[in-house]
Structure 1
Amino acid sequence: MTVLSVNVNKIAVLRNSRGGDQPSVVAAARAAIAAGCGGITVHPRPDQRHIRPDDVLALADLVRGRVEYNLEGNPFAPARKEYPGFLALVAATGPAQATLVPDDDGQLTSDHGFDLARDGARLRPLIAELKALGARVSLFMDAGTPDIARAADIGADRIELYTGPYAQAFAAGDAAAALALCARTADEARAAGLGVNAGHDLSQHNLEAFLHGVAGVQEVSIGHALIGEALYDGLHQTIATYLTIIARAEQGSPA
């Protein structure tokens, strides 16, 4: 079954806008786990705009032995001030998965996958180090990339399909080409021995069609839409709805 990993970054955005410790990312993650999610995702950035290193540590204590912990980040970003660097956070927390993302400080959000012709050689030793720390390694990749075989060659275990373009096409009412591109890339990944995750702008509206169109997705990481929807329906009910969507998609019964 496709695992739903809930990204709690947006809880930290709200907390940081006021200061203090409310709303609590730990309490939100605890509620998400109680509602039945299979993982918790965080994406700490060096500028600490949302999730901070102390959150990463606190959440690791919460999720240990309960659900998977997925730590996202740019492995090339240097340590600065209170941010110790991505590999140091992985070493300190032992997540089940390290998802590597080529974002920089100037990006509002992750908006493209790796170019492995440029970055593959630098990633190879970092991937090896992360795997030695016990983490499964996933690379954030664009649908249609020619680099799938290279991702396997440099040691990645999975890819995470960047689904932003699919979500945009779905919202515009014509997602067929974007969905086919995701499906083809997922097929290429599995043929290369890689697992397939997906994330970015997935929502209650577009997730079921995505899972029907792209076979064998092992994990979806959803934060922005899920937290926004939870403002109206509550976190427990929102996660229950996502789990129903995933189960229905796997049964092959579109709504």
Structure 2
Amino acid sequence: MTHHLSTRPEPGSTRRRRRFAAAALAAGALVLGTSVAATSLTFPGTPGKDVHIGGDNDNADNPFIQPPGVTAKQHMDNTDVLFGRGNDDLLIGKLGDDTLLGGGASDILVGGPEKGTQPNSDVLLGDPGADINIWAPGDGSDAFIGHQGWDTMIFAPFVERANGELLLTRSDGRRIPRVDIDGQAAFSCTIVDVPASENLGFEFLVRFNVNGTPVVTVRQRDVETVFCPSPHVGRALVADLTDHEPEFRNVRLNRVPGTVGNILEPVG
């Protein structure tokens, strides 16, 4: 079977094209509803290629949220709600159970990085455009809904600066994070098809494994491509979720085009 990467035109496969407009509208309403309660909130930014980063200030250490002497929990454990706009935005949620809505154009959505802190289950909504969700070890079990466009999920450790912040580089007039996806012998992924009888509303579960043991599951809906770590240097594992029975195969990093390829390109 011939496999293609993320720049090919959207296929006519009815299985992958089962768009759920009503559910997408409901998800948008959920985000708006949540934003009323969340103090760590970034409203849609400029028409440019923005970078929005979660404030992580809705927590027990904020006396405005959690008044002194009040024992009942008033805070939201660093929950952030981040919105993109009609351009190629980068949204980074950081700690907590975050909700990210990309909006129009091709957005990069990062629920974490959370590095093992909890709570850490994020909901990421791509909206129209070729959106990319990046999950790193230490993040929690998330849900990624790509919606319209050719959307990509990446499982890989981030490349960080010496101070622990994400390394962001410039690519095509925007800022992008970088990952270390090759030569990762301990990491692997497993694709699980979700039968309609489960009533979960997702098409696939992708389980991230450490030494063969599942540690996290990310739910996928309207996502076309998944990249996972490869034990081989200079390669990644990729699966085309539009295939009838998607399986991972090795691909050379220098053969991955576009923004995805720039994110996967080895640093140094």
Tell me which of the two structures has the higher relative contact order, counting C-alpha pairs closer than 8 angstroms and 6 or more residues apart: 1
> What TM-score does the superposition give when structure 2 sets the normalisation length?
0.30
More strand by share: 2
More helix by share: 1
